[in-house]
Amino acid sequence: MTTRTKDHEDAMDQEDAMSTTALAPHQDTPSGRDSGQGRAGTGLFDPKQLLKSLPEAFRKLDPRVMVKSPVMFVVWIGSVLTTVFSFKDPTDWFGWTISGWLWLTVVFANLAEAVAEGRGKAQADTLRKAKIDTVARKVDGTQVPGTELKIGDLVVCEAGDVIPGDGDVVEGVASVDESAITGESAPVIRESGGDRSAVTGGTKVLSDRIVIKITTKPGETFIDRMINLVEGAARQKTPNEIALNILLASLTIVFLLACATLPPFATYAGTHLTMVVLVALLVCLIPTTIGALLSAIGIAGMDRLVQRNVLAMSGRAVEAAGDVSTLLLDKTGTITYGNRRAAEFVPVRGTTEAEVADAAQLSSLADETPEGRSIVVLAKEKYGLRERHQGELSHAEWIAFTAQTRMSGVDLDGRKVRKGATASVVAWVREQGGEVAADTQELTDRISQAGGTPLLVAVEDTHGARVLGVIHLKDVVKDGMRERFEELRRMGIRTVMITGDNPLTAKAIAEEAGVDDFLAEATPEDKMALIKREQAGGKLVAMTGDGTNDAPALAQADVGVAMNTGTSAAKEAGNMVDLDSDPTKLIEIVEIGKQLLITRGALTTFSIANDVAKYFAIIPALFAAVYPGLDKLNIMDLSSPNSAILSAVIFNALIIIALVPLSLKGVRYRPVSADKLLRRNLTVYGLGGLIAPFIGIKLIDLLLSLIPGIG
């Protein structure tokens, strides 16, 4: 058995520090903080992308594409009509100008969608480069192209081979490079059995030999699905998006009918409304802004998930994440680091902490478990116990831990040190003829009641055998988790910790982490029952999982996030897959979902509010000549009827392109209650949408008034 000298300790300290960094919860979230990680190196908005996407925006002018957006299809028809009527009088500059800006309105709407899709296509190109045509070696020795593999085929992969398709490891263990999928350069271990058996096509085996059972058809691998997702080909409109489209279409029909009734009234009043003016009025009154940006908002929301290496199987899942009210989180690896760590050395009466620390460290130098390493690190950091030279340990006899003895330790220079379970160490001390301190049981009970694990440390030397003290091992809660749970609480989300620990330990961890509730000694049936109870109360539930036994609960949850390292059953059951296999990312997924809903709601509020100003621009321009009293509505004091109508149309087009960055980046999310969020959006986007057009239309009118023949 190997020993650890000073150099060994330094290496383990570095490893411990790296694992702490790797396991720490993500601090960057969509809530206004930069989450720079992502695929294909895309930022949230690149102005150059506007120019790159312009050709695609013109291609989308195809009526078969435009008809998918009812509002913008009406604008497209209006643009065609004004263009046709302008041809009747080629000298009518007003008609041609209105037509030009109406076409720009349609192009700008297409551009918003094209930019969102363009970012996805850039990511898809990166993913396509990761796809490699492979030759698969079956277990029977035959070789076939990877594209001809069927579900259930068994293939062999050795060091240097590219895995030909998605599947589960059924034999062996290997180190796998998944950087093509996750972007992480560090290799991962994949092995048969357990919850780390899934492998992804396109990744590379770095060492050893494994046998893989193929679980997907050619063309349906994770890379294929990610390509379809980021390109938008697999994106379906969500229920809320469909409902909003119906609302916008209804408003469009209402305004269409209203505009259709105006010509008879105008004729009765002794004036004439041209088709160009009627179309301009209709386009300015219908909710063109949100109609133009609605698709881009949905695509961008999915894109933000892909940037965080989360594959959503449907837009419904992203939307549901925004409405989640109960969050089920596994304790191990999500709320805690997953390995018990030494928290303190507690001496019995008659000894000191330093004595306990020295003995505990010495007995743990050959202990390669996370618990053993943490004991060495704590003794070094708290008491400066660092120097352990090779010569000092050359005659040491290391006692390995076994399930029978439930102890480990070292015999060195006539001194015996043991650490382990309370009953085992107490029995050893008594076998050596020593006595156990009276407060030993009291100390171990106190640690157990606090949810920790006590390890007794004992020694036999010239003074006899005796217990020195207790090592307090505890499941360490990740930094910042309490603050994040507090944020979720302000969002109205209830957090439930799920663990297989006993209720006493679970209660202690739950209180330290700050979760709202916990489910101890949880079985798959318990998880399913909890989800059903929450859903029966009208709540949407989100949870993470990676094992086959998690599959039923993942399928039942409204948002089921499966880990990429998990089994194929778990990934098929969930409606999202986290390629980084980071359970804490569920919190970010909820925030992304909420940001998507907030962005859609905010821009809808802005769009409807900014139509109000256009009434004050166009209505006086149409009828002030025959009804002078309407001139009082011209509160912007626009220079002429033609300028008023043209200013409103130009503003209507420009506001779309101005809001493209916001629709792609998303409205900044803050963890506040629903009523506060509503008040904020009504103030910022409702009032802002009301005021902005008055300012914008007036400024455009001032510029137009400088052009001869318009003002």
Residues forming the annotated binding site? 367, 371, 401-408, 419, 546, 550
Neighbours of 327 (CB within 10 A): 25
Q: Of 198, 275, 287, 281, which is closest to residue 244 (Cα–Cα)?
A: 287
Q: What is the DSSP code (8-state) at residue 630?
A: G
- Residues at the binding site for ATP are 367, 371, 401-408, 419
In angstroms, what CA-CA distances link 652 with 63, 643, 700? 21, 14, 11
Rounded Cα–Cα distance for residues 706 and 642 (Å)? 13
Known catalytic residue at 413: no
Residue 139, class by beta-carbon neighbours within 10 Å (0-12 exposed, 13-18 middle, 19+ buried)? middle
Q: Which of helix, strand or coil describes residue 543? A: strand
CB neighbours of 431 closer than 8 A, spacing ≥ 6? none
- Residues at the binding site for Mg(2+) are 546, 550
Token pair 């894109």 is found at 303
Beta bridge partners of 334: none
Cα dihedral 545, 550, 553, 557 in deg (nearest 10): 20
Give the CA count within 13 Å in the CB-facing half-sphere of 586. 33
**3-state SS string over 308-370?**
CCEEECCHHHHHHHHCCCEEEEECECCCEEEEEEEEEEEECCCCCHHHHHHHHHHHHCCCCCH
Describe the crossing of helices 93-130 and 288-307 by its angle, rounded to 10 degrees.
Answer: 10
Q: Which of 153, 168, 303, 330 is catalytic?
A: 330
Rounded Cα–Cα distance for residues 563 and 566 (Å)? 5
Cα angle vertex 534, ends 528, 590, to 5°?
95
Residues carrying an active site annotation = 330
